[in-house]
């Protein structure tokens, strides 16, 4: 790196010296020489300002005019254009040339296959033209797009299509007008030849909205689920949040080359095809659910993100945390609330807690940023959503919705801050959130330690809660937070005990605000069973020394499904931890019969939703287990987890077999009950794969599967249990799907997570597979990402080969696509969590990367933090 990239600080925010109220864009599309003309109405905001500084990157400036005359008084740097001595208000015309085909970073205007498309969030618009590329500059956009009509029959942009025409030599043009002022990051343009699925939605006030989903030719039969999800999302937002869509058209385009999941551009969402395309033959149940959630998420952004946007990028969680909360509620209202909550909590307890312990630790509203793309994190998104959820828990649905209405009343059409949001919630509810605001500025995972004491004479039960947040790499000093702790007490018959304090019945949600607080409950006739942190009411680690007997009681008697699952997880955690210590000290494992019986009880209980049974019987991932230890011993963790799985399989094989037979369904359907049964059946198969009948069962399921969920489940079982049939199944699958990258991603993931000794050698071979392309982020994440994140034993191989492999891939991606590189590097940053030998090897790879002479700022920011933390 020739010079160190500079950081921006939240505290340094100042409003812009100039604003832009209108911009007319004109694109003459060409693969390598697209000409962009931007005519902007610029107005001075700060009377002392005389120079206008615009952002720009990888642009060729062709001409510059002010009020129609050439303007020579300017200078450029690598990232900016400074125009001197400008008037109070003026029309600025900037003509630039860009190279979409050469844009492998997939930011700005680029080619995805044969189509042109854009990605502007966070700072991609500056790769299209010189502009005030910041979210607090809101302008009305018109966009004219011109291209060859044969190759690009569809020319799309934001808003409504207002004019079009044909030109000589087979070219044509279309003009779009977006009536809503927006920041540049919400701009979009797409040009290509597609198949289109059309439908419509009539809003609650009776307006008709045209819905269009654009997919690659031949993929129309994979678009209906996305359309259904979109209509469900539009209806749900009207019913639950009272929010109606505001344009006459809503378009979604699916592209194969995309850095993330999808993008909420106003009226024209661009999606990674992974989150649009699905049919029974190509998609798994999880793919269907993922599509529903991402389609919902992007649609919900229309209000939380687009109508009210962020003042600056430090406020990202204002739109992302809130929109994740909304999409989680959407999925929970449509499907199983318990299963959705469990999956969200697994993400927080696994990778989000790990992020808090890594050199990248940051509050949900970061203080310092070098590359904004590095902050689209689990902390900003998922923990951000937990923070919104805590407000929802403290306020209740009615007050929360009143807060939402007030937020829109105050901020619609503007760029707002996280503080604005909390203030609206506080003002609408009358509930004091002053201490709660610390969740926005404090990073790290609080630990809540619990002591419980029953007094049989006084008939009182005293609960002492203590909070401590360990220091994080970004912030040493921590303060107490306002933590909602949802608790319930049961008597020994499983009856709920009402919570009474000082003679009054109180809510189940206790507000822990000080470092230590004791809550004394009265009229508790017998020593109660305690269910803690129900619904995971706060993103904290819980330290409570519950006995096996208590946890087994809660697994059966807690009245809330999440709490029953959680008790099972705590029970597993106790035994996994104890056994890892045994392995480390060379002792024999101890997996008591009572543990197996507790889980057998759940398996045999016909009353429990099969989807929930499957969650209860799913062991925590190796990564989550790693998070429980100061030094992660990947080999010991792997052997204990495998041993428990194997023991469960052997001891419960009759129950697994019986369920496997009983849960067979005649037809495939994506009804939630049907998905639940299939999930449980495939969980049984996964356990059975480790028994004598494994190979036969798995092979038979693969051969007879009539849907992708069952096919992938069979392959996963063969992969995890290293069955004899694995090779044959993998070969058959790639023979069938070689031409379909999205389907092949499932196969690449299996190669990446292969437990076999030669896994890495084989992964290197697969990088030359005809379906693999390192320029395609989905392929790279499937093969390389799954290896580094979900194959801990091989990624952390003692000879350092896994680290070396990742560093090689990163060296290549550093120039072609730094954003993807910067996601992949995360496991390497966490070197401090491993033993000395591994630390040394991981650090050595980071050091090699740090001296690359063209190191992208995305990687620079992370490597610098990791090495200098
Ligand atoms: N807002 C986009 C993410 C943009 C990421 C930029 N690196 C998608 C979403 O969260 O809905
Ligand atoms: Zn989002």
36-60 residue pLDDT tens: 999 999 999 999 999 999 999 999 9
Distance 319 CA to ligand 2 centre (A): 7
**Cα–Cα distance, 796 to 793 (Å, whole number):** 5
Beta strand pairing call for 69-70 and 208-215? unpaired
Strand partners, 263: 270
Question: Would you place residue 4 in the very low, low, confident or very high pLDDT band (cuts 50, 70, 90)?
Answer: confident
861 is catalytic: no
Number of Cβ atoms within 10 Å of the Cβ of 149: 15
Q: What mean pLDDT value characterizes the chain?
A: 98
What ligand has the least distance to the C-alpha of 265? 1
Among 1-5, 541-545, 691-695, 704-708, the range scoring the smallest mean pLDDT is 1-5
Query: Would the CB of 373 count as within 6 Å of ligand 1?
Result: yes
Query: Would the CB of 121 count as within 6 Å of ligand 1?
Result: yes
Query: Given this model, what pLDDT does residue 196 score?
Result: 99
**Backbone dihedral angles phi then psi of residue 46, each to the nearest 5 degrees:** -110, 110
Nearby residues for ligand 2 (ion, Cβ within 5 Å): 320, 323
Query: Would the CB of 298 count as within 6 Å of ligand 1?
Result: yes
Sign of CA dihedral 305, 307, 308, 309: positive
**Cα–Cα distance, 716 to 689 (Å, whole number):** 10
Query: Given this model, what pLDDT does residue 127 score?
Result: 99
Contact 327, 296 (CB under 8 A): yes
Distance 622 CA to ligand 2 centre (A): 28
Rounded to 5°, the CA angle 258-259-262 comes to 65
Contact 77, 6 (CB under 8 A): no
**Cα–Cα distance, 636 to 629 (Å, whole number):** 12
Question: Would you place residue 87 in the very low, low, confident or very high pLDDT band (cuts 50, 70, 90)?
Answer: very high
What is the residue with the minimal CA distance to atom 4 of ligand 1? 121
> CB within 8 A of 48, min separation 6: which ones?
none
Catalytic residue among 298, 371, 382, 615: 298
- Choose the residue to mutate in 303, 305, 315, 376 for probing ligand 1, maximizing ligand atoms within 8 Å of C-beta: 376
Contact 378, 405 (CB under 8 A): no
Question: Would you place residue 347 in the very low, low, confident or very high pLDDT band (cuts 50, 70, 90)?
Answer: very high
Q: Does 1 have pLDDT greater than 50? A: no
Report the candidate in 430, 452, 607 with the shortest Cα–Cα distance to residue 530. 452
738-758 residue pLDDT tens: 999 999 999 999 999 999 999
Give mean pLDDT, residues 79-88.
98
Query: Would the CB of 535 count as within 6 Å of ligand 1?
Result: no
Query: Given this model, what pLDDT does residue 707 score?
Result: 98
Q: In Å, what is the CA distance from 603 to each residue of 270, 322, 648?
A: 43, 36, 11
- Choose the residue to mutate in 133, 182, 264, 820 for probing ligand 1, maximizing ligand atoms within 8 Å of C-beta: 264
Question: Would you place residue 75 in the very low, low, confident or very high pLDDT band (cuts 50, 70, 90)?
Answer: very high
Give mean pLDDT, residues 451-457.
98
pTM of the model: 0.99
Structure tokens at 308: 């009210």
Can you tell me which atom of ligand 1 is nearest the CA of 297? 11
618-645 residue pLDDT tens: 999 999 999 999 999 999 999 999 999 9
Distance 215 CA to ligand 2 centre (A): 22
Alpha-carbon Rg for the chain, nearest whole angstrom, is 28
Question: Would you place residue 617 in the very low, low, confident or very high pLDDT band (cuts 50, 70, 90)?
Answer: very high
Q: In Å, what is the CA distance from 527 to each residue of 458, 460, 571?
A: 11, 9, 21
Chain-centroid distance, C-alpha 677: 26
Query: Given this model, what pLDDT does residue 869 score?
Result: 85
Query: Given this model, what pLDDT does residue 566 score?
Result: 98
Rounded to 5°, the CA angle 39-45-48 comes to 115
What is the residue with the minimal CA distance to atom 1 of ligand 1? 263
What is the residue with the minimal CA distance to atom 2 of ligand 1? 263
What is the residue with the minimal CA distance to atom 3 of ligand 1? 263
359-378 residue pLDDT tens: 999 999 999 999 999 999 99
Structure tokens at 562: 């999440």
Q: In Å, what is the CA distance from 712 to each residue of 83, 281, 744?
A: 58, 11, 11
- Choose the residue to mutate in 258, 263, 321, 385 for probing ligand 1, maximizing ligand atoms within 8 Å of C-beta: 263
142-197 residue pLDDT tens: 999 999 999 999 999 999 999 999 999 999 999 999 999 999 999 999 999 999 99
What is the residue with the minimal CA distance to atom 10 of ligand 1? 320
218-260 residue pLDDT tens: 999 999 999 999 999 999 999 999 999 999 999 999 999 999 9
If 0-12 CB within 10 Å is exposed, 13-18 middle and 19+ buried, where does residue 782 land? Answer: buried
Query: Would the CB of 320 count as within 6 Å of ligand 1?
Result: yes
Beta strand pairing call for 60-66 and 89-98? antiparallel
Query: Would the CB of 264 count as within 6 Å of ligand 1?
Result: yes
Q: Does 2 have pLDDT greater than 70? A: no
Q: What whole-number percentage of the chain has pLDDT above 90?
A: 99
Distance 300 CA to ligand 2 centre (A): 9
What is the residue with the minimal CA distance to atom 8 of ligand 1? 263
Distance 121 CA to ligand 1 centre (A): 6
Query: Would the CB of 376 count as within 6 Å of ligand 1?
Result: yes
Distance 546 CA to ligand 1 centre (A): 41
Q: Is 457 left (phi over 0), alpha (psi -120 to 50) or beta?
A: alpha
Query: Would the CB of 371 count as within 6 Å of ligand 1?
Result: no
**Cα–Cα distance, 307 to 286 (Å, whole number):** 31
**Cα–Cα distance, 597 to 617 (Å, whole number):** 12
Can you tell me which atom of ligand 1 is nearest the CA of 305? 1
Contact 358, 473 (CB under 8 A): yes
Q: Which long-range contacts (CB under 8 A, 24 or more apart) does 479-482 make?
A: 479/438, 479/442, 480/435, 480/513, 480/514, 480/515, 481/435, 481/436, 481/438, 481/439, 481/442, 481/446, 481/513, 482/433, 482/435, 482/436, 482/438, 482/439, 482/511, 482/512, 482/513
Distance 320 CA to ligand 2 centre (A): 5
What ligand has the least distance to the C-alpha of 185? 1
């Amino acid at each position: 790196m020739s010079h160190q990239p500079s950081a921006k600080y939240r505290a340094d925010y100042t409003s812009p010296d100039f604003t832009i109220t209108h911009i007319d864009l004109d694109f003459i599309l060409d693969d390598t020489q697209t000409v962009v003309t931007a005519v902007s109405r610029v107005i001075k905001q700060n009377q002392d300002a005389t120079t206008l500084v615009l952002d720009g990157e990888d642009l060729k400036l062709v001409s510059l005019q002010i009020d129609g005359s050439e303007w020579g008084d300017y200078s450029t740097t690598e990232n900016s254009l400074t125009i001197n001595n400008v008037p109070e208000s003026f029309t600025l015309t900037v003509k630039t040339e860009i190279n979409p085909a050469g844009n492998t970073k997939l930011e700005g205007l680029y080619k995805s296959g044969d189509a042109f498309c854009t990605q502007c969030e966070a700072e991609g618009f500056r790769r299209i033209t010189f502009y005030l590329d910041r979210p607090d500059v809101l302008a009305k956009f018109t966009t004219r797009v011109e291209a060859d009509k044969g190759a690009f029959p569809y020319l799309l942009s934001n808003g409504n299509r207002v004019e079009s025409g044909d030109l000589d030599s087979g070219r044509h043009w279309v003009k779009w007008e977006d009536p809503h002022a927006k920041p540049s990051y919400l701009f979009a343009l797409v040009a290509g030849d597609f198949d289109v699925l059309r439908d419509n939605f009539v809003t609650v006030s009776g307006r008709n909205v045209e819905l269009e989903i654009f997919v690659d030719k031949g993929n129309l039969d994979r678009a209906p689920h996305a359309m259904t999800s979109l209509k469900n999302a539009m209806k749900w937002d009207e019913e639950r949040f009272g929010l109606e869509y505001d344009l006459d058209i809503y378009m979604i385009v699916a592209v194969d080359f995309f850095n993330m999941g999808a993008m909420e551009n106003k009226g024209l969402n661009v999606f990674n095809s992974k989150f649009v395309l699905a049919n029974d033959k190509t998609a798994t149940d999880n793919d269907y659910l993922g599509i529903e959630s991402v389609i919902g998420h992007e649609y919900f952004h229309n209000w939380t993100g687009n109508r009210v946007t962020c003042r600056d990028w430090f406020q990202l969680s204002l739109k992302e945390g809130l929109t994740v909360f909304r999409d989680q509620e959407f999925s929970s209202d449509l499907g199983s609330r318990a299963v959705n909550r469990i999956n969200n909590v697994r993400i927080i307890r696994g990778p989000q807690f790990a992020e808090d312990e890594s050199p990248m630790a940051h509050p949900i509203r970061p203080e310092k940023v070098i590359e904004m793309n590095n902050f689209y994190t689990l902390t900003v998104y998922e923990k951000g959503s937990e923070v919104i959820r805590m407000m929802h828990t403290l306020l209740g649905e009615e007050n929360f919705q009143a807060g939402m209405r007030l937020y829109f009343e105050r901020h619609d059409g503007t760029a707002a801050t996280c503080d604005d949001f909390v203030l609206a919630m506080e003002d609408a509810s009358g509930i004091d959130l002053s201490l709660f605001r610390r969740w926005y500025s404090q990073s790290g995972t609080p630990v809540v330690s619990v002591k419980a004491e029953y007094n049989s004479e006084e008939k009182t039960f005293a609960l002492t809660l203590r909070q401590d947040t360990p220091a994080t790499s970004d912030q040493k000093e921590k303060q107490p937070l306002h933590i909602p702790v949802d608790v319930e007490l049961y008597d020994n018959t499983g009856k709920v005990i009402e919570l009474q304090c000082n003679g009054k019945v109180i809510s189940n949600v206790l507000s822990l605000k000080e470092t230590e607080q004791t809550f004394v409950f009265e009229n508790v006739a017998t020593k109660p069973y305690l269910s803690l942190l129900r619904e995971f009411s706060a993103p904290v680690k819980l330290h409570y020394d519950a006995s096996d007997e208590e946890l087994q009681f809660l697994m059966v008697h807690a009245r809330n499904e999440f709490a029953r699952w959680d008790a099972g997880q705590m029970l597993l955690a106790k035994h996994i931890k104890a056994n890892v210590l045994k392995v480390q000290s060379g002792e024999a494992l101890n997996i008591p019969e009572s543990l197996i019986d507790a889980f057998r009880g759940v398996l045999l209980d016909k009353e429990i939703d099969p989807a929930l049974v499957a969650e209860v019987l799913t062991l925590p991932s190796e990564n989550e287990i790693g998070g429980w230890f100061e030094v992660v011993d990947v080999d010991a963790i792997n052997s204990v987890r495998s041993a428990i799985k194997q023991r469960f399989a052997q001891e419960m094989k009759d129950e697994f077999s019986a369920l496997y037979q009983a849960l067979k369904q005649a037809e495939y359907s994506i009804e939630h009950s049907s998905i639940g049964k299939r999930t449980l059946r495939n969980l049984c198969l996964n356990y059975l794969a480790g028994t004598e009948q494994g190979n036969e069962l798995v092979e038979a399921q693969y051969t007879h599967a009539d849907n992708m969920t069952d096919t992938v489940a069979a392959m996963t079982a063969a992969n995890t249990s290293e069955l004899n049939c694995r090779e044959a199944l993998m070969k058959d699958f790639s023979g069938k799907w070689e031409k379909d990258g999205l389907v092949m991603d499932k196969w690449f993931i299996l190669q990446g997570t292969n437990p076999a000794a030669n896994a890495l050698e084989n992964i290197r071979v697969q990088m030359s597979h005809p379906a693999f392309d390192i320029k395609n982020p989905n392929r790279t994440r499937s093969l390389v990402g799954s290896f580094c994140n979900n194959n801990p034993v091989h990624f952390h191989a003692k000879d350092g080969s896994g680290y070396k492999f990742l560093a090689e891939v990163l060296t290549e991606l550093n120039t072609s696509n730094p954003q993807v590189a910067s996601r992949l590097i995360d496991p390497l940053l966490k070197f401090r969590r491993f033993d000395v030998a591994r630390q040394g090897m991981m650090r050595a790879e980071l050091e090699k990367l740090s001296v690359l002479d063209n190191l992208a700022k995305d990687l620079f920011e992370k490597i610098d933090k990791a090495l200098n933390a």
